[in-house]
Amino acid sequence: MIRSTNGIARSLRPRRLLLLLVVLGVAAGSALFGGILSESPAAPPQPAAAAPEPFAARGSALPPARSTGATINKLQAQLRREPDDADALTLLGLEYEQRARETGDPSYYTKAEGVLRDALGLAPGSPLAESGLGSLALSRHRFREALVLGRRALAFGTAAEAPNAIQSRSHGIVGDALVELGRYGEAFDSFDRMMRLDPGLPAYTRVSYARELLGRPRAALLPMSAAVEAAGSEPEPQAWARVQLGKLYWSMGRIGAAGKQYRLALAAFPNYVYALDALAQVRAARGDVRAAIRLERHAVARIPLPQFVSTLGDLYSVAGNRIAAAREYALMDAIRRLLVANGVRTDLEIALFRVDHGIELRSSLALARSAQRERPSIDGDDVLAWALDRNGRCAEALPYSKHALRLGTRDALKFFHRGMIERCLGHAGEARSWFRRAVALNPHFSVLWAPTTRRLAR
């Protein structure tokens, strides 16, 4: 148990520290990637002379997945014996957060907050408990709160000489929050600090994302591929990393490469909902809408996340089943209420959904304005620009669209929105140029809007 506010990290028993690092999902890498702006690693990882078959392709050779539910049960049993065990409370809070990701059940966020605050009550200044609350705030889209908590965790960790893995985790929380607040230079500095402290899956994925934001997806492939390797033999982290790599390929229009990664993710972790959802979009791009609907229905049945439900509705709409599409769209409000009840802010996502589908456009614009103030990122700017355009206020929309593209991000959806704004302004040639850029990048970027973009690009 953590016994004092000083020497916190050193007071963790060795067995607990090992478990803690497993929970964090930290896998140490062998080389730094030279920072966000570097095109290539200073010393790229070298493959073994006889490299084994990729883990996710081995089928029956897969080891059993670590069971989050079983770990939760063990920690709960331990806490019944020792209710004041701050270490166990902290680990339980982190496991609840992982369980929320696995199940999509936002009630685990509420549980995580309760036990993490209990842990801090017993051990004030615990950098891991503070960072746990920070990652929870990120999951709830409370980015200003996450920034405060992440910085507090860093301060406590420095004072306690916490392990590099914990410090790196806190830098990741700070960086993620800064990205969503539109403070990209500071965010990328935080990600570089992660790499210096503890190169591994969390750091590699953030470096990759930063390069993608800067409009350099090819440079982003290397650290994301390293993230797949760093995931090791843990099925869920392996599947998650492969889905992220697949999405990077998808953003570049490399549909076949994306589909391969999604299938490998499913081999590593069968029925992994994020891979099912992503593969559904690949099937739709290939013209097999019926197969896409089957995959998306499977994802929704397991975890009815808003993005899955919305995509399923769009697939039904493309297939001409308006009744089924309307049924899925109607679920969005119930999902929103459940998320809000568990502390999750959904304004930006709900505003985009409503604007895309022409639902209460005037109130959706007000929602987009509020969301952009809370989340002044390129995504916040883009959604507000799109909401203004759909309300016929294209002159007001243009500056926000320009701001959404200020990093040079290569995003077909943002290109489409810019094209629609230019078209609304009567700039036919400029609009066609943006539509063509979207199609050249990925002609299948959206189930809902890609067909419109291809038509307008001609």
Task: Show me where the domains of the chain are located.
Answer: 1-38+64-199, 289-343, 346-457
What pLDDT, on a 0 to 100 scale, did the predictor assign at position 82?
A: 96
Closest CA to 253 of 437, 386, 405: 437
DSSP bridge partners of 28: 200
What pLDDT, on a 0 to 100 scale, did the predictor assign at position 50?
A: 33
By the 8 A CB rule, do 405 and 414 touch?
Answer: yes
Summary count for the chain: helices (H), strands (E): 23, 0
What pLDDT, on a 0 to 100 scale, did the predictor assign at position 388?
A: 98
What pLDDT, on a 0 to 100 scale, did the predictor assign at position 39?
A: 53
What pLDDT, on a 0 to 100 scale, did the predictor assign at position 38?
A: 61
Closest CA to 315 of 302, 297, 333: 297
Spatial distance between the Cα atoms of 226 and 218, rounded to a whole number of angstroms: 14
| Tokens of residue 400, six digits | 């926000």
- The model carries a pTM of 0.86
What pLDDT, on a 0 to 100 scale, did the predictor assign at position 102?
A: 83
Instruction: Give me the CATH topology for the region 346-457.
Output: 1.25.40
| Tokens of residue 42, six digits | 């200073």
What pLDDT, on a 0 to 100 scale, did the predictor assign at position 49?
A: 33
Closest CA to 383 of 401, 395, 406: 401
What pLDDT, on a 0 to 100 scale, did the predictor assign at position 225?
A: 97
Question: Does the fold of domain 346-457 match that of domain 1-38+64-199?
Answer: yes
What pLDDT, on a 0 to 100 scale, did the predictor assign at position 68?
A: 87
241 contact partners, CB below 8 Å, separation of at least 6: 201, 205, 224, 227, 228, 230, 231
| Tokens of residue 75, six digits | 């920690």
Q: Which residues of 270-298 are buried (b: 16+ CB within 10 A; e: fewer)?
A: eebbbbbbbbbbbbbbeeebeebbebbbb
What pLDDT, on a 0 to 100 scale, did the predictor assign at position 37?
A: 59
What pLDDT, on a 0 to 100 scale, did the predictor assign at position 58?
A: 31
| Tokens of residue 432, six digits | 């066609």
| Tokens of residue 212, six digits | 């993608």
List the chain residues with pLDDT less than 70.
Answer: 1-66
CATH number of 1-38+64-199: 1.25.40.10
By the 8 A CB rule, do 454 and 443 touch?
Answer: yes
What pLDDT, on a 0 to 100 scale, did the predictor assign at position 162?
A: 87
Helices 378-390, 412-424: crossing angle, 10 deg rounding: 40
What pLDDT, on a 0 to 100 scale, did the predictor assign at position 10?
A: 33
- Look up residue 440 and give its amino acid: A
Spatial distance between the Cα atoms of 64 and 268, rounded to a whole number of angstroms: 10
